[in-house]
Structure 1
Amino acid sequence: MFMIRNKVWPIILLAYREAFSSQLLWVLLLLVPLTLGLAELLGTMALTEKTAIKAGFSAGLTRWAALFIACLFTITSIARERDNKLNELLFSLSINRSTFYLSKFAAYGSIGLLIGSALSLTVLLYRPTASTGLWIISLYFELLIMVSFSLMVSVVVNSVIGAASVVLGFYLLARSIEALLLIANSTLEFEYTLANQMITLCLTGISWLLPKLNQFAQIDSVLSSPMDIGKILHNALTALAYVLLTCLMGLIDLSRKRL
């Protein structure tokens, strides 16, 4: 156990060192006041429910910004280590590949949670309630899913643009799959054709494979209808399942590569 810990912490500290050297802290320090400024500007234009509008805007921007920064940092960090041959150096020190991969996920996952926590301060400023706390917890689960998927894609795909495109496509599809399925089912009711039936079946199959990210960190839970414990538990189980699945897929691909 002590030997494993000695190998894990250097990998995690390397990721944190890169986060500070890549000026990630300055980006967060810029985004927090920028979010507050834009929310206040939007609030001045509203006639009623100014606090709710500012809280909703802050929650929406926080969600997108946290996911974008966390995923982009994960992808670029893995690509930079690959270009600098740092992975080969670590493996030459008899570090197990599973230890390396899980340490990377622990590092990037914790960095993603810190990013989400920092940006969520703007939402807490306008809505310091228990429902906002549950919303932040739900955002944490969504961040873990996306960071885990970004890490897996970065290991499989060597191109930064390619990995970022796959992650963006996965996120947009996971966010909109229920809406697409609803449209397909409504179309099938009016025009029952073989093509529409095949499209509906394909979308149904895809929906079983994807996490329903539209059910995570919903803005309505901050404004009007707070998330209950059942939804939080469902989000937690979904996050656990997809983190385990993506980590397993990443480990399989990493173990078969010759470095």
Structure 2
Amino acid sequence: MGTAILAIATGTLKEALRSRLLWLLAALALGAVGLAGFLQAVLPAGSRATNTALLAALLRLAGTGMVGIFAVTALVREYGDKQVELMIALPYPRAAWLLGRLAGCGLLALLPAAVAGMLLAFASPPAQAALWAASLLGELWIVAAFAVFCTLTLQHALPSLCATAGFYLLARSVTALQVAGHGTGGDAGQRVIAAGTDALALLLPRLDAFARSEWLLYGTGTMADAGFVAGQSAIYVALLAACALFDLYRKEF
């Protein structure tokens, strides 16, 4: 089973590289650097800090979009080409195919995280840039796992991409929603909203605590932050992988 997982993961990574994702990653990185430099020239006040924060945000969005879109489209293509049925027919557990796919997406996520870390190391302390890049890697793993789970369930690109984007936006803003839900009002409607935001915060990963810009600007990242990110990544990747496995094993091909 281990050999099958490794072969599928390697094949997934090769598929990504054959689709010229490296060129896309280079273009996104250059575009992020250029846009951040342009905005730095337009907004000269606090330009260095602004440039670093904008560059980090753009690199995070680019990496998330690249990994999420590839995870969805590659799986939809496998369904369309009937490759899923072929892989399931091989004398390996279904889990080998799914875990191989997840591992391949995880390997792909190393590329944007490494590129982002190297670029930000020029504008911030290298240790903080490394922490930021490692945190981004955990974020990309969670997004990839959710994208695979959605695609297995929905089996169509557009709803899977929309669900993945919605999940990411909610996970990134859930703390702000929770604060807004616990407003000054104490009526029944406010309590219902507060309970709903608390439930969302309990279910969703705290992606707002991942890859924080203040780590790069003020050097505030600590080992406690790294431990929190590692714990959240392990929990949610394992949970999403278990949900995807459950969905895969209940299907009849």
TM-score surpassing 0.5?
yes
8 Å Cα contact 1:31-1:119 kept in structure 2: no
Instruction: Determine the structure 2 residue equivalent to 1:216.
Output: 210
Distance in 2, Cα, partners of 1:172 & 1:251:
25
Distance in 2, Cα, partners of 1:21 & 1:222:
33
Instruction: Determine the structure 2 residue equivalent to 1:230.
Output: 224
Distance apart, 1:39 and its partner CA:
2.3
Which deviates more, 128-137 or 149-158?
128-137
Distance in 2, Cα, partners of 1:258 & 1:231:
43
8 Å Cα contact 1:28-1:119 kept in structure 2: no
* 2:240 pairs with 1:246: yes
Instruction: Determine the structure 1 residue equivalent to 2:187.
Output: 193
8 Å Cα contact 1:155-1:254 kept in structure 2: yes
Instruction: Determine the structure 2 residue equivalent to 1:87.
Output: 84
Alpha-carbon RMSD across the aligned residues, in angstroms, is: 1.5
Distance in 1, Cα, partners of 2:235 & 2:141:
11
Task: Map residues 68-147 of structure 1 onto 2, 5 A cutoff.
Answer: 68-147=65-144
Instruction: Determine the structure 2 residue equivalent to 1:255.
Output: 249
Instruction: Determine the structure 1 residue equivalent to 2:155.
Output: 158
Structure 2 gap ranges (5+)? none
Structure 1 gap ranges (5+)? none
Distance in 1, Cα, partners of 2:196 & 2:44:
45
Distance in 2, Cα, partners of 1:45 & 1:122:
21
Instruction: Determine the structure 2 residue equivalent to 1:58.
Output: 55
Residues 50-99 of structure 1, C-alpha deviations (whole Å, 9 max, x = no match): 33222211111011110111011000000001101111111222121111
Aligned partner (choices 27, 30, 33) of residue 33 of structure 1? 30
Which deviates more, 66-75 or 27-36?
27-36
Specify the SS of the correspondent of 2:211. Answer: coil
Which deviates more, 30-39 or 162-171?
30-39
Residues 180-228 of structure 1, C-alpha deviations (whole Å, 9 max, x = no match): 1111211xx33x2222211211211121111111111011111114211
Q: What amino acid is aligned across from residue 233 of structure 1 in structure 2?
A: G
Distance in 2, Cα, partners of 1:120 & 1:225:
15
Task: Give the TM-score, by structure 1 length.
Answer: 0.92
Distance in 2, Cα, partners of 1:61 & 1:146:
16
8 Å Cα contact 1:39-1:57 kept in structure 2: yes
Distance in 2, Cα, partners of 1:181 & 1:13:
41
Distance in 2, Cα, partners of 1:208 & 1:156:
23
Specify the SS of the correspondent of 2:44. Answer: coil
Distance in 1, Cα, partners of 2:68 & 2:207:
15
Residues 91-135 of structure 1, C-alpha deviations (whole Å, 9 max, x = no match): 222121111111111110110122221233322222242111111
Q: What amino acid is aligned across from residue 117 of structure 2 in structure 1?
A: S
* Percent identity between the two aligned chains: 27
